[in-house]
Amino acid sequence: MEIWRKSFERAIRDIMWSQWSALGAYVEVEPCRKALVDPEAILVATCALGRDDARIFDEAMDWTVVNHRLLRPWRMRRISRSFGPEVTRTLGAVLEYVSMEVGAEVFPGVRDEARGSLGEVEVEELFRREKGLFGVAGKDADTVFARWKLLRGAPRIRRHSGTPDRSNPANLMLRLRDFYGSGARADVMTYLLTEGGGSSNGIATKISYRQGQVYRVLENLVSAGIAHKRGGRGNAHYWIDREAVAVSLGLEGELPAFFAWGDVFLAFHLVASDWERNKEKYADDFLAAERMRDLAARVVPLLGKAGGPLSRLPFPVPGALKGMEHARALMDFLQQAADILQSYMQ
């Protein structure tokens, strides 16, 4: 299981690196092109999963210093809430450091909400490989992160990050934000172009918006003749002529695949954080199977509803599994999901 775990975590890092490369981070990795990149989701995910890799964490911070104006604060809040207080706290620390670097208040509302999580967390090293380097060992901790109960050295911010290449299909969300402005319309149109149609509630869930915001945008699109609607309020289905709209927006070539990256990364985080917190139990096959059985109840639905071919991934009926079969079933499912997602990064 340990060999598989390391391989799976390496796959997660590869997916994250590819997305940061697409956004313009200073990395020598081929950028994602076939799947839509969600800038708020990858930043929150890095606050969660990047604690095992100081380099990707600091490259994400560097990118945020250079490109923070591209981010939507309300989406960061909504996505980070599902990850829990530890990740919300880490996001708050990152944004406070970015504020210090740029000499301006960056996303104060997100940081204020994140401060509410400080009472639920303990003082600890930010990077798990640095346990014991601070305090007793005498290494100086960065003062900004220390205020968030996170111990680490000074972040490596060089401002080497570039800006996202809008011609890359993966950056369609950012391209449409340039076109439509700061409201919800850009992200709703991104979903309609890449994933197809849906109800106002279903679309809002997938793109991390309030249902009311999405409903108003959809109704305005219908009134303008851009979107179509079937059914009444409460069960209406909305869609667009994707090919015609793409041509009208000057979008050439194949559109990227949509994945609800907030849910994808949350599923990966649930697995990785459970391993980290319960190492002794995972050393025992029986206890590991129990934990993975419980994890599957949360992780499988998250990934299965995240869009694209992930919805077609099979998973055995839990009641038909016994003992280590629970562990093998979840490992196989996660590996298939990771393989599918990696195929869209190339």
CA-based torsion, 200, 202, 203, 209: positive or negative: positive
Give the C-alpha separation, 346 to 263, whole Å: 21
Q: 127: helix, coil or strand?
A: coil
CB-based burial of residue 151 (10 Å sphere; 0-12 exposed, 13-18 middle, 19+ buried)? buried
Task: Give the pLDDT score at 320.
Answer: 85
H or E element: which one contains 151? Answer: strand 150-151
CA distances from 184 to 53, 170, 238, 269 (A): 33, 19, 16, 27
**All structural domains of the chain:** 25-151 (no CATH), 180-248 (1.10.10.10)
Rounded distance, CA 271 to CA 334, Å? 9
Question: How confident is the model over 96-130, as pLDDT tens digits?
Answer: 999 999 999 999 999 999 999 999 999 999 998 87
Question: How many residues does the structure list for the chain?
Answer: 346
Of 60, 65, 72, 80, the closest CA to residue 20 belongs to 60
152-162 pLDDT tens trace? 999 999 999 99
Confidence grade of residue 3 (pLDDT, cut at 50, 70, 90): confident
Confidence band (pLDDT; 50, 70, 90) for 235?
Answer: confident
How is residue 308 written in tokens? 């694209």
Give Cβ neighbours of residue 199 (< 8 Å, ≥ 6 apart).
235, 236, 237, 238
| Range list of β-strands (E), the chain | 124-125, 150-151, 227-230, 237-240
Q: Which two tokens stand for residue 286?
A: 């029986």
- The share of the chain scoring above pLDDT 70, in percent, equals 98
Per-residue pLDDT, 308 = 86
For the entire predicted model, the pTM comes to: 0.95
**Strand bridging mode 150-151 / 227-230:** unpaired
Share of the chain above pLDDT 90, in %: 84
CA distance 340 to 35: 11
CA distance 139 to 196: 52
* pLDDT for the residue numbered 84: 96
**Lookup result for tokens 């210093």:** 65
Whole-angstrom Cα distance, residue 257 to residue 37? 9
Q: What pLDDT, on a 0 to 100 scale, did the predictor assign at position 136?
A: 53
The answer to whether 94 and 64 have CB atoms below 8 angstroms apart is yes
pLDDT value, residue 234: 75
CA distances from 189 to 98, 169, 243, 289 (A): 30, 14, 13, 42
Mean pLDDT of 215-235: 93
Residue 82 has pLDDT above 90, yes or no: yes
Residues 81/88, Cβ–Cβ less than 8 Å: yes
CA distance linking residue 190 with residue 137, whole number of Å: 49
Quick one: DSSP state of residue 324?
Answer: T
- Count of Cβ atoms closer than 10 Å to residue 310 Cβ: 20
- Tell me the HSE value of 128 on the side-chain side, using a 13 A CA sphere: 12
Q: Give the residue among 128, 155, 171, 170 at the shortest CA–CA distance from 62.
A: 155
Coil, strand or helix: which one is 223?
helix
DSSP designation for 160: -
